[in-house]
Amino acid sequence: MNKRRHRRRHHAGATQSRERPQTTEASAPAAKSQGLVPARVFLLLSSVIAVYLAWVSFKGGSLPGCGPESGCDKVLQSRWSHWLGIPVAVPAAIVYLTLLWTTFQIGGRASEARRRNCSLAMVALSVVILGAAVWFVGLQALVIKSFCAFCLTAHASAAVAAGLLLRNVASRTGASGTDRFHWPPKTLGIRRSEVIKFAFAGVGALLVLLAGQALVAKKTYAVKRMEGAAAPSTNASAQTAGQESGQPSGSTETRTVSVQPISGSAPSIPAQPSGTAGPNATPTNPAPSARREIVLHQGKHRLAVDELPIIGLPSAPHLTVSLFDYTCHYCRDMHGLLLEAQRRFSNQLAIVSLPMPLDADCNHLVKRTSSAHANACQYAKFGLAVWRAKPEAFSEFDSWLFHPPSPLPLNDVRQRAEELVGRETLEQALADPWVTRQIQTAVALYESNSRELRDGRMPQLVIGSAISVGPLQNIDPLYTMLAEQLGLKP
């Protein structure tokens, strides 16, 4: 009787033992898929953002909400936005998509070798993603001191996915529940040393990324020369010939950027008394007045030199055009470089200065004014009004306004302007429609330049037949452009 009971218990235990592995095996797929679905969603999101950022970078367009000099724009235009000359979004997209692909290679239908290799690849790629997220977020916070919402979203999504996948690799096992979180997975035959080796491989790839950014800096500016542009003319006869032919001098084809000056030594025509003709008067058309113009983009933009703020002598044989914003920190650096170049070449060079506010109040290209460019329209109006009221005071006011590292309070700016030109005179100049017209002229020129280069960075320069956009790191590139375009050598 006792033996029979013992045999029944033994048979029941054996039956339960045979059934237990079946239960474990049935639950294994659920364990193996732990975190895969949300990880795929996060990786897909980060991949879409990275591909979009890469496409915009190559296309030369702008991102929604990333206007000129916005936080997003500062990040994307910084030297850290590229790796070995290509946008960092490109290698990011490759890593994200590769990791996304591996998540579909560890299912039950894949061979054990493939699941094993893809699990190890997950480790390396996840380490790269987590390290890159720390690196780029740290750069935005500590170095660039601006943030890109698109970039942060991509990094955050990819980092969450990497964490989920590392946890998935660690938890995948066909052992009993008590051994469920064993590392590394026993069933795939992965040794701890292999996991460590692939983790270090990820660290090595991350170091390659960091070294590439540190050693190969992206150019912070871009220059484009308009093909077919004639050399700037410096005598009056050249302009007269251009007028007779119906074409402005130096503007020979669409998108030409050129300067059409009149020699400062051109003889002036004495004015005749009203109603009185000279003894040798003839019924021919009067000689053209010595009105100097800068003709840009095949005559689309014409700048009257004697009607615009200028650094240097209006009669200088060589002219450049500067587009800037008084609230733009890169423009402050550029202003110092331009002053240095003008002092170096003295009467040979003059710089037409056009304020181009990055402020939605007076610039239709800016949809929302960032806090960094608050009141940019007001600063521009004060600068133009001072020149309009008293041209000889503009250089002093302009340098004073650019000197501090950040924009001065508007009350201080108004007070300084009143000291230079007088309160009543300043109010009259501010009310002059000419001020608004010049701002719109600068905005239109900025739009043409930006479309031509597919790059809306500030500041912008027009030197001879070349357009430069973005900040210059030092004066050497400026000297190079002046030498190549105008023949001025320091």
Please say which residue of 215, 230, 250 terminates a domain: 215
| Domain shared by 370 and 432, yes or no | yes
463 within a domain of the structure (yes/no): yes
Percent of the chain with pLDDT over 70: 73
> The tokens of 383 are what?
């600068």
Model confidence at 376: pLDDT above 90: yes
| Domain shared by 445 and 369, yes or no | yes
| Domain shared by 233 and 166, yes or no | no
Q: Who wins on pLDDT, 186 or 432? A: 432
**Cβ-contact 63, 54 below 8 angstroms:** no
Residues whose CB is less than 8 angstroms from the CB of residue 444 and which lie 6 or more positions away in sequence, other chains included: 301
| Domain shared by 62 and 122, yes or no | yes
Residues 36-72 have pLDDT tens digits of 899 999 999 999 999 999 988 887 666 777 766 677 8
Q: Counting runs of H as helices and runs of E as strands, what totals does the chain give?
A: 15, 10
269 within a domain of the structure (yes/no): no
pTM: predicted TM-score of the whole model, two decimal places = 0.61
5 within a domain of the structure (yes/no): no
| Domain shared by 195 and 80, yes or no | yes
| Domain shared by 243 and 363, yes or no | yes
Please say which residue of 215, 239, 272 terminates a domain: 215
468 within a domain of the structure (yes/no): yes
| Domain shared by 328 and 181, yes or no | no
Strand-strand pairing, 318-324 and 349-355: parallel
- Write the CATH number for 170: 1.20.1440.130
Please say which residue of 152, 182, 215 terminates a domain: 215
19 within a domain of the structure (yes/no): no
- 397, 453, 457, 480: which is closest to 226 by C-alpha? 453
| Domain shared by 91 and 199, yes or no | yes
- Write the CATH number for 344: 3.40.30.10
Range of the domain at 305: 222-263+290-486
> The tokens of 155 are what?
């990094």
424 within a domain of the structure (yes/no): yes
| Domain shared by 310 and 253, yes or no | yes
Residues whose CB is less than 8 angstroms from the CB of residue 215 and which lie 6 or more positions away in sequence, other chains included: none
Please state the domain count of the chain.
2
460 within a domain of the structure (yes/no): yes
Per-residue pLDDT band at 168 (split at 50, 70, 90): confident
Least confident of 132-136, 270-274, 389-393: 270-274
| Domain shared by 204 and 298, yes or no | no
396 within a domain of the structure (yes/no): yes
Q: Which of 21-35, 167-181, 247-261 has the highest mean pLDDT?
A: 167-181
| Domain shared by 189 and 50, yes or no | yes
| Domain shared by 257 and 194, yes or no | no
